[in-house]
Structure 1
Amino acid sequence: MPLLEIHELTQYFGGLCAVSDFSVALESGELVGLIGPNGAGKTTVFNLVSGFYKPTQGKIIFKGSSIAGLKPHEITGRGIARTFQNIRLWNHMTVLENICVSQHYNMGYSLMDALLRTKRYLKQEKRIVTEAMNILEALDLARYADEVPPNLPYGLQRKVEIARALSIKPSLLLLDEPAAGLNSADVKDLISLIQRIHREFDITIWMIEHQMTVVMTLCSRLKVIDFGATIADGTPDEIQNNPDVIKAYLGDDAI
């Protein structure tokens, strides 16, 4: 059984069809890319999978159960984490606090426990901090634990966002344009980081990315959409030579 199955997913915003009959299956352990020109509907697909939108029609099956229409925190609790095209860190919190706060769905204590600082509260808080530090150490970010994100270079902020997503121990990680805004050196580091995460965390990764070097290096297969519809599906070599893909990116004159 695939880890994630999407069948004929369609999303309308008023009279605009943002995604049309989108289908895909991701096996456990895969690293798959979702690409297409700007406005193709890629982030809409991720928003549907992660619960920010309720699909107009279609099925989203994760680990054998439907998640279409569930709220984001419910989907997170089932094992799907994501990052965003625009970094969404809490700038008034430290890096460590950014990682810890992602455990809100799995705190293991009540509001009353927190107010009274019970043994349960203290035990669970210690666990959360320990697990957060383990994630930071695994991604070579422990030295920045007490820094606030605005004090860090942009590339490190990207790593912190990925660390926060990993802290929930997901089975599926959605990366929405992780290389956006990075310079060439940071992109190279990002590729190495994603390869290490994929290998060491034994996780399935589905990523949106515009930088072809990133997806061609990392992904075993690619799905291409344009104007909300799938136009190609295959290996990186097959995709880069596909005339429909070339046309979508470069126009009719490129064919």
Structure 2
Amino acid sequence: MPLLEMKGVTQRFGGLQAVSDFNISLEERKLIALIGPNGAGKTTVFNLISGFYQPTEGQIIFDGQPTAGLRPHQVTARGIARTFQNIRLWHEMSVLNNIRIAQHHRLGYTIWDAFLRTGRFTKSEGNIDAIAWEMLEAMDLKDAAHELPRNLPYGLQRRVEIARAMSIRPKLLLLDEPAAGLNSADVDGLIKLIRWIHDEFDIAIWMIEHQMKVVMSLCEWIKVIDFGSTIAEGTPEEIQSNPVVIKAYPGDDTI
């Protein structure tokens, strides 16, 4: 059974059709990419999977169950985590608390438990702390645990965002342009990090990315969309030589 299926998914915003008849079957532990020119509809696809939008038409099935009607936090609880093109961290909270807060769906206690400091509250908070510190260590962020994210270099902020997503123990990690804004050294580090996450945690990863160095270094399969419609899909080698894809990226010799 595929981990994620999208069948005939279409998304309209008034008279604008952002995604048209989108289909994909993503197996467990795969590492794939969704690419296309700016405005092609890539982030809309991720927003549909994440529950930010409900498709106008079609069906999304994750881990054997439809996601129709689920809110974003419910999708997250099912095992889908994501990052965003523009880093979204709480800059007034420490790195540690940024990761802890991702566990809100696992709290398991009431406001009265928190007020009275019951055993249920203490146990739940202890588990959350343990998960957060484990992820900080795994992502080499322990030294930054008590720093505010805004005081960290951009590359480390991106790592914190990925660590926060990974702290929910996802089955599928969605990365929306993880290399955006990174310098060449940070991009090399990102490639190593994503490869390590994929191997270490044995999860599926689906990324949107404009830097072809990242895509071609990591991905087993690439799907290409333009104006909301699929124009090609295949291995990195097939995509690099596809004339339809090359035409969609005028003047870009990295394809």
Indicate the TM-score class for this superposition, using the shorter chain for normalisation. Answer: over 0.9
Give the equivalent residue in structure 2 for 1:185: 185
Taking the aligned partners of 1:68 and 1:3, their CA distance within structure 2 comes to 16
Give the equivalent residue in structure 1 for 2:28: 28
**The residue matched to 2:249 in structure 1 has which SS?**
helix
Give the equivalent residue in structure 2 for 1:6: 6
Q: Residue 55 of structure 1 contacts residue 69 of structure 1 at CA under 8 Å; is this kept in 2? A: no
What RMSD in Å do the two structures reach over aligned CA positions? 0.7
Kindly provide the CA deviation profile for residues 170-227 of structure 1, in whole angstroms up to 9, marking residues without a partner as x. Answer: 0000000000000000000000000000000111000000000000000001000000
**The residue matched to 1:210 in structure 2 has which SS?**
coil
- Matched to 1:8, the amino acid is G
CA-CA distance at 1:92 after TM superposition: 0.4
CA-CA distance at 1:68 after TM superposition: 2.6
Aligned residue runs from structure 1 range 60-209, under 5 A: 60-209=60-209
**The residue matched to 2:58 in structure 1 has which SS?**
strand
CA-CA distance at 1:69 after TM superposition: 2.9
Taking the aligned partners of 2:61 and 2:119, their CA distance within structure 1 comes to 39
Q: Give the structure-2-normalised TM-score.
A: 0.97
Q: Residue 5 of structure 1 contacts residue 23 of structure 1 at CA under 8 Å; is this kept in 2? A: yes
Q: Residue 82 of structure 1 contacts residue 176 of structure 1 at CA under 8 Å; is this kept in 2? A: yes
Gaps of 5+ in 1: none
Q: Residue 19 of structure 1 contacts residue 229 of structure 1 at CA under 8 Å; is this kept in 2? A: yes
Give the equivalent residue in structure 1 for 2:16: 16
Taking the aligned partners of 1:105 and 1:124, their CA distance within structure 2 comes to 11
Q: Residue 53 of structure 1 contacts residue 69 of structure 1 at CA under 8 Å; is this kept in 2? A: no
CA-CA distance at 1:10 after TM superposition: 0.2
- Matched to 2:242, the amino acid is N
Taking the aligned partners of 1:68 and 1:92, their CA distance within structure 2 comes to 34
Q: Residue 48 of structure 1 contacts residue 68 of structure 1 at CA under 8 Å; is this kept in 2? A: no
Give the equivalent residue in structure 2 for 1:232: 232
Taking the aligned partners of 1:55 and 1:142, their CA distance within structure 2 comes to 40
Taking the aligned partners of 2:154 and 2:48, their CA distance within structure 1 comes to 27
- Matched to 1:20, the amino acid is S
CA-CA distance at 1:111 after TM superposition: 1.1
**The residue matched to 2:77 in structure 1 has which SS?**
helix
Q: Size of the alignment, in residue pairs?
A: 251
Give the equivalent residue in structure 2 for 1:57: 57
Q: Give the structure-1-normalised TM-score.
A: 0.97
Give the equivalent residue in structure 1 for 2:37: 37
Q: Residue 85 of structure 1 contacts residue 176 of structure 1 at CA under 8 Å; is this kept in 2? A: yes
Runs (4+) of structure 1 exceeding 3 A deviation are: none
- Amino-acid identity (%): 68
